[in-house]
Structure formats: C-alpha cells, structure tokens
Amino acid sequence: MRIRGAPVATLAALVMAVGLVGLRPARAAFQVHKIAEARFTVEPDKPIFILAMGNDGRPGDTVTRGDALHLLGINPGQGRATILDIPRDTYTAMPGGGRDKINAAHATGGAASQARAVGALVGVDVSFVVDADFQAFTAMVDEMGGVDVDVPFAMNDSFSGAFFQPGRVHMDGTAALAFARNRHIDGGDFRRTEDQGLLLLAGLAKLRAGPHGAADLLRYVSILVRHARLEGLSVVDVYRLARLAASIDPQNVRNVVMPGAGGNAGGASVVNVGPGADALFADFRDDAVLQSH
C-alpha cells in the first residue's frame, strides 16, 4: 500500500524515528485541526479548502483572536490554487449567533469555530485549520531555514519592526513576523492581509524547492509535527497535506484580498464586505480557481 507516493512503511519508520507517536508539545502554540464535519479526500475534480491562521497569542494568553485569516483553496486536478485573504475585522455572522468581527470566532470557540465563520462567509466547507501563534510562527520559519519573500515596497515601521527594502528578502522568523504584522502602510490592514498571503507563497515555494523525494518531504513533516498538536488527524494526514502543497507551483497560486470597506458597528471600527465580494466568493468556491477575477 502507498499513500500518494510514499510507502506506509516509510511513514511508520519516520514516526518511530522522531518519536511522534503520542507526542504533544508542552505548549500548544501550533495546532493542526481536522474539522469533523468536513471530508478530506484528494480527488482531481474536487477542491480542498484549508484555513491558514495566525492568532494573536503570546505566552500566558488564554483567549486569542484570529489575527491573520487566509483561506487556501487547492484544485488537485488542475495543479492550481487560490489564497483568499480575509481582513480580521470583517463584520459577519458568528457561529453561535449574532454578528461580530470575524476574528472573534477564535476567541469564543477556537480554531473549529473560526473555520466555521470563514467557511460560512465564503460558502465552503473548511477541511483543515493550521493555527499558529507568534512564538510558533517564528520557530517554524527558523527551523525551515527562513523564507525568501518578495517585499513589494520599502517598509520602515518601528511598531512592528519591519525595516525592508523592496525586492527579494531572506527572512528569519523574527523578520517574517515583523513583515506580517506591519499595518502602518498604505492600505492598512487590507495591505497587511495581502502581505501575509505573500508569506504563505514564500513558504509554499520553500516547501516545493526543498524536497526532491519522499524522505526530504518527510523531514518537513517532522519539523511541523515537532512544533504542533494534531487534533483529529494523524502524521499520515499531515504528510498527505504536505505532499499536496508541494505539488502546487507557486506561479499557479493567486493571492487575492476580499473586497471590503471600513465601517462602524457598535462604536467599533469594522470591515464591511464590499461590492464584488459575493461574485469573488462564487468564483472561488466552485473549483478553488479564479476564472473571472
């Protein structure tokens, strides 16, 4: 038996070698969730939707919000994908009723609740959530050896620590976090959300460029699992996800921000879903590929 190119025996050997069986980090700074109501079956004619999320957790925090929300849709048959960037202050329906900023769903119900809120907004079933706080994000980037990010313009922000010149920049974990957090730029949170999508593309490029076989890909899987708590999925599931991601050329991935406009709700600044969002969501959800946007 083989799972997408790798013998199960090889996966079992990896589990035994790195001691992943029953492993749980002392602190759940990084989590990968399989959402119970969604199915994960790699089929050429069906898209797969994964929520990549950074929460605002710091050591000692017990309540966190979804600070960075990116819905990744993958079309295995076409080898194409779309990253749909959702501003964190998007005002929308909450899974438990009522309306609030979309990132509040994480504070009230964790990753699964955040997945439901994003899925309901766009109209898709989210199969997996990758959820990292600041500490986990920097540690993962560092252990990967950093990422090469295409910085779109000069950044000089003392609040986030983002000091970059435009062009390709090699970033360690600290620099990548500063880049992801910089919102003192033209476009504010909308531009920051788009820049976070650029980080995802850089990570995808790293994953695709590094592995040249099952053993190399498994090394990346072992890095992930050493830092992560797996909820509802196995190491084999993580391997399948990594292999799927590595099969997508970053040149075939679109990075698009949800249309929106600033507004006010109950005295708080929010982002209202803008004109054209419904058409974008419909274009995205049928096959995860944008044909008309």
**pLDDT tens digits for 155-208?**
999 999 999 999 999 999 999 999 999 999 998 889 999 999 999 999 888 888
Average pLDDT, the chain: 84
Q: Is the pLDDT of residue 57 over 80?
A: no
Provide the 8-state DSSP code for 252: G
Residue 16 has pLDDT above 90, yes or no: no
**What residues are paired with 70 via a beta bridge?**
52, 85
The DSSP secondary structure of 149-160, one letter per residue, reads EEE-S-EEETTT
Nearest in space to 73 (alpha carbons), one of 293, 290, 235 = 290
- Rounded Cα distance between 162 and 175, Å, is 7
- What percent of the chain lies above the pLDDT cut of 90? 51
Residue 6, amino acid: A
How confident is the model at residue 41, as a pLDDT? 61
Q: What pLDDT is attached to residue 136?
A: 80
pLDDT in tens, 58-89: 666 666 777 789 999 999 999 999 999 999 99
For each of the domains in the chain, give its residue range(s) and CATH number, in order of start: 2-143+192-287 (3.40.630.190)
pLDDT value of residue 249 = 92
Give the mean model confidence (pLDDT) for residues 264-269.
90
pTM across the whole model: 0.86
Q: What are phi and psi of 213, to 5 degrees?
A: 175, 175
Which pLDDT does position 4 carry in this prediction? 44
Q: What is the pLDDT of residue 276?
A: 94
Residues in contact with 54: Cβ distance below 8 Å, sequence separation at least 6, in sequence order? 66, 67, 68, 131, 132, 133, 134, 137, 180, 196
**Does residue 105 contact residue 129 with C-beta atoms inside 8 Å?**
no
Q: What is the mean pLDDT of residues 247-265?
A: 93
Choice among 61-70, 146-155, 281-290 with the minimum mean pLDDT: 61-70
Q: Distance of alpha carbon 222 from its chain centroid, rounded? A: 18
